[in-house]
Amino acid sequence: MSPARPIARRMAHIQPFHVMDLLARARRLEAQGRDIVHLEIGEPDFQTPAPIVEAGIRALRAGHTHYTPATGLPALREAIARYYQDVLGADVAPERIVITPGASGALLLVMGILLNPGDQVVMTDPGYPCNRHFVRTFEGEAVSVPVGPETDYQLTAAHLARHWSERTVAAMVATPSNPTGTLADRALLSELLDFTQGRGGALIVDEIYQGLVYEGENGTAAALSEDLFVINSFSKFFGMTGWRLGWVVAPRDCVRELDKLAQNLFLAASTPAQHAALAAFTPACMEILEARREAFRARRDFLLPALRELGLKVPVTPRGAFYLYGDSTAFSEDSFALAERCLEVAGVAITPGLDFGDHLARSHVRFAYTRDLPVLEQAVARLRTFLR
Amino acid sequence: MSPARPIARRMAHIQPFHVMDLLARARRLEAQGRDIVHLEIGEPDFQTPAPIVEAGIRALRAGHTHYTPATGLPALREAIARYYQDVLGADVAPERIVITPGASGALLLVMGILLNPGDQVVMTDPGYPCNRHFVRTFEGEAVSVPVGPETDYQLTAAHLARHWSERTVAAMVATPSNPTGTLADRALLSELLDFTQGRGGALIVDEIYQGLVYEGENGTAAALSEDLFVINSFSKFFGMTGWRLGWVVAPRDCVRELDKLAQNLFLAASTPAQHAALAAFTPACMEILEARREAFRARRDFLLPALRELGLKVPVTPRGAFYLYGDSTAFSEDSFALAERCLEVAGVAITPGLDFGDHLARSHVRFAYTRDLPVLEQAVARLRTFLR
């Protein structure tokens, strides 16, 4: 064997999901016969809704297995545009919608067309861990702004004013957010948009949990202006995680650039998935999805008070997504060690704060209420014993 | 509207597929009632083989719609490893196989872990156009080496010696190649591997047309050494273009880095596609694929002499893939204009050399024999009239 080859410098800054190590350990415990409650992964227990699965099967039977255009199936771009119009009250032309391999693909394209080496993107800490890695991938610099309960863990224009530099080209927010489940309302989004437009920068709004909102606005930043990027996905609300399908709503003058980059980096998103997703907006499917939203709400309404009662501090009631993010210092000064013991001793897998940044990394953990109520009840019973 | 935002500099160097403009024009002609023979796109007319489609449908019915690990379904990695062992005579551990969203995803990951800004990658001109754009995406520099019939349009160690610099970190070859359909045999690959190892660089071998070989070795560079990257795909030989599924065989010490980058950029490849692909290696499916290979061979054996007779110069008989690449200067000094007229006047869509680099861009065109024999016969009849 030759000596280990040099690896690109960016890879020293791109971290794996730490929860994957916990997941692997959970799998080993399960192989030994232990029962583990999985509240660590951001993937619901629900199957893809039957109307979508059936549409996927029909597409396969009909031979829809060839490439689509890089920007996606025209019929799907139109269906998403109608969804924005009818459900979210936003006027979005189909031409501004680019279909991507998951929201991951959308983030890759948007960062790819915006970032020169050294350019900065302002984002929250805690936040979705891949965001800063997408920026690093293109030789940019993520500027992670510590946020807390005083702003619902969201960026404000005051944050941007403090952290915007000559090199900043974009700000990124998520609503509902991961890991905190908080929302950025219309007023806040307007304020952020005014700021970024004033500085000639871009606003990127991650709405991949859009639809999973239990109180407050289930809207879209796309209603505010054409001059921002909205990222969305069929994974979470629509229950299509493994199909890998998402989209971006882009400013008109950026679509050609996104198309070019998509042609080169992906060719196109999955064709069967695109055909299946056409069924996502049918009344039969929307009815299933609404019922699931109510199930998530019931889970939140059970788990949140139960964990608070055990001593987890959750200062802001999460209003969307399927996450509870709380201060665990009542149990341990080190949330990673806590997550490990929680798995080993209580058989409950949760995600350490480390996966969402540095700011609250050692004092916080995330619970994903992606399991059914009886399972959550069992988890709470185990935690009660473990944390006593 | 705000003024057009600044777009990253890389986008000025990342070109769209020029053939897409021709394709759009072809669609307009078809909408007017014209009959167009499509020999421009690298996608065969064959449907995905029935055993793969049926496996996909079974996977959907079984609810296989959740995420897989970022490196792919363990059973699929094992099935691919057995294919290398049994069919290609190469000993490849499943742990070295990383499943990706198409070969595009594989190229993205490999370039992402290898390239620092300014690093160079040596490749052929003509070649697959996205290769240089992947390099540019990561702020590297593609060094395009003009190649011709004297080396079967392949890189040699002599080319590498001439073009390797202090900044070069990798060389890239394709066998069978696009657009020329030529092969790099075992001796040549060994020579290239010796060279790159001697310089501490990486060898990347694109084998996405592997399996579609009509004469000579249908082997794999993975049989030579563990110390190279082999890119492959379910798109071409296995007939799964729109499913977006590929893989990379990597040196052992690079798998962790590829995994990390895949977690962040993709999460994982499509789950239904991965389950469907398990059926690709069954005897029933391999029988279909062998029959298709013979059909491609028959198409080549018809189209190549027919085009040569018309005056297209094809100095090297292509031995794989489904492309004929030839010198069209007998008809026009400008192959792009020729392709346009060929579409408008003869109703035959072909790809101008411009899509494969600069070197032979204006003097060459590519024909993709992705249509059935009667269609090819019609194309030749039309071309005979047009070129007379």
Contacting residues of A for B114, CB less than 8 Å apart: 5, 7-8
Give the mean pLDDT of B242-265. 96
Q: Is A79 in the same domain as A217?
A: yes
Sign of CA dihedral A333, A334, A335, A338: negative
Q: Is B3 a domain residue? A: no
Give the mean pLDDT of A256-268. 95
Is the CB of residue B209 less than 8 Å from the CB of residue B176? yes
pLDDT band at residue B23 under the 50/70/90 scheme: confident
Contacting residues of A for B67, CB less than 8 Å apart: 41, 43, 241-242
Contacting residues of A for B197, CB less than 8 Å apart: 2
Total Cβ atoms within 10 A of residue B223: 16
- Is pLDDT at A179 greater than 70 in this prediction? yes
pLDDT at B291: 97
Q: What is the pLDDT of residues B328-340, one digit of tens each?
A: 999 999 999 999 9
Which residues have CB under 8 Å from B126's CB, separation 6+? B147, B153, B179, B180, B325, B353, B356, B357, B359, B360, B361, B364
| Mean per-residue pLDDT of chain A | 95
Q: Is A2 a domain residue? A: no
Q: Is A352 a domain residue? A: yes
Q: Is B2 a domain residue? A: no
Q: What is the pLDDT of residues B64-77, one digit of tens each?
A: 999 999 999 999 99
Q: Is B173 in the same domain as B238?
A: yes
Q: Is A38 in the same domain as A116?
A: no
Radius of gyration of chain A (CA): 21
- Is pLDDT at B380 greater than 50 in this prediction? yes
Q: Is A146 a domain residue? A: yes
Domain CATH number, residue A315:
3.90.1150.10
Chain B: residue whose CA lies nearest to A7:
B114
Q: Which domain holds residue B361?
A: 10-47+285-387
pLDDT band at residue B18 under the 50/70/90 scheme: confident
pLDDT at B4: 60
Burial class from Cβ neighbours inside 10 Å (0-12, 13-18, 19+) for residue B118 reads exposed
Q: Is B217 in the same domain as B92?
A: yes
The encoded tokens of residue A49 equal 């809704």
Q: What is the pLDDT of residues A111-148, one digit of tens each?
A: 999 999 999 999 999 999 999 999 999 999 999 999 99
Domain boundary at B281, B308, B328, which? B281
Q: Is B376 a domain residue? A: yes
Q: In the block, which residue shows the tokens 């692909």?
A: B277
- Is pLDDT at B212 greater than 70 in this prediction? yes
- List C-alpha distances in Å: A22 to A12, A28, A180, A352, B357: 21, 10, 20, 9, 47
Q: Is B289 in the same domain as B274?
A: no
Q: Is B257 in the same domain as B351?
A: no
Interchain contact, A254 vs B5, CB within 8 Å: yes
Q: Is B224 a domain residue? A: yes
Which residues have CB under 8 Å from A169's CB, separation 6+? A114, A115, A116, A119, A120, A121, A140, A201, A202, B6
Domain boundary at B250, B281, B312, which? B281
Q: Is B87 in the same domain as B136?
A: yes
User: pTM of the prediction?
Assistant: 0.96
Q: What is the pLDDT of residues A145-171, one digit of tens each?
A: 999 999 999 999 999 999 999 999 999
| Mean per-residue pLDDT of chain B | 95
Please tell me the total count of domains within chain A: 2
Give the mean pLDDT of A13-28. 87
Q: Is B17 in the same domain as B80?
A: no
The encoded tokens of residue A183 equal 């929302």
Interface predicted TM-score of the whole assembly (ipTM), two decimals: 0.95
* Percent of chain B residues past pLDDT 90, beyond the cut: 93
Radius of gyration of chain B (CA): 21
| Backbone φ, ψ for residue A139 (5° rounding) | 70, 20
Domain CATH number, residue A68:
3.40.640.10
The minimal CB distance from A57 to the residues B57, B114, B268 is found for: B57
Q: In the block, which residue shows the tokens 């999973």?
A: A212
pLDDT band at residue A1 under the 50/70/90 scheme: very low
Is the CB of residue A364 less than 8 Å from the CB of residue A337? no
Q: Is B133 in the same domain as B238?
A: yes
Please report which helix (H) or strand (E) contains residue A157, including its range.
helix A157-163
Q: Is A128 a domain residue? A: yes
Report d(CA B297, CA A283) in Å as an integer: 49
Report d(CA B147, CA B169) in Å as an integer: 20
Q: Is A18 in the same domain as A66?
A: no
Among residues B130, B20, B41, B17, which one has the least CA distance to residue B368? B41
Chain A: residue whose CA lies nearest to B355:
A264
Q: Is A123 in the same domain as A241?
A: yes
Among residues B168, B160, B165, which one has the least CA distance to residue B184? B160
pLDDT at B352: 94
Q: What is the pLDDT of residues B121-150, one digit of tens each?
A: 999 999 999 999 999 999 999 999 999 999
Domain boundary at A281, A303, A320, which? A281
Interchain contact, A67 vs B43, CB within 8 Å: yes
Among residues B107, B100, B165, which one has the least CA distance to residue B133? B107
The minimal CB distance from B260 to the residues A16, A117, A139 is found for: A16
Q: Is A65 in the same domain as A198?
A: yes
Chain A: residue whose CA lies nearest to B103:
A266
Interchain contact, A272 vs B273, CB within 8 Å: yes
